[in-house]
């Protein structure tokens, strides 16, 4: 099953830029926030599935600006 997720997120660009710089990453704010939220959300759901006794790694990003 494929699920398309779309939303708009408001962030404090100065804080996010400072954090990206502290990490030493060479990414735009848009790319950093997008990949961070997708990775964190998928990881959280997979961890919950595994803790409940289900298979791990059952979620894959199939298409996206920074994935697929």
pLDDT (tens digit per residue) in 19-53: 999 999 999 999 999 999 988 998 999 999 999 99
User: How far does Cα 29 stand from its chain's mean position?
Assistant: 13
Q: What is the pLDDT of residue 56?
A: 78
Average pLDDT score over residue span 10-15: 98
pTM of the model as a whole: 0.77
Task: Reply yes or no on whether the pLDDT at 68 is more than 70.
Answer: no
Task: Reply yes or no on whether the pLDDT at 66 is more than 70.
Answer: no
Q: How far apart are CA 31 and CA 13, in angstroms?
A: 12
Helices (H), the chain: 13-23, 29-51
**Nearest by Cα to 31 from 16, 53, 15, 47:** 16
């Amino acid at each position: 099953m494929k699920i398309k997720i779309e939303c708009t997120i408001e962030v404090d660009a100065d804080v996010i830029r400072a954090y990206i710089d502290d990490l030493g990453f060479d990414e735009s704010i848009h790319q950093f926030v997008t990949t961070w939220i997708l990775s964190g959300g998928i990881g959280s759901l997979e961890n919950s599935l595994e803790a409940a006794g289900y298979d791990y790694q059952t979620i894959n990003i199939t298409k996206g600006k920074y994935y697929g």
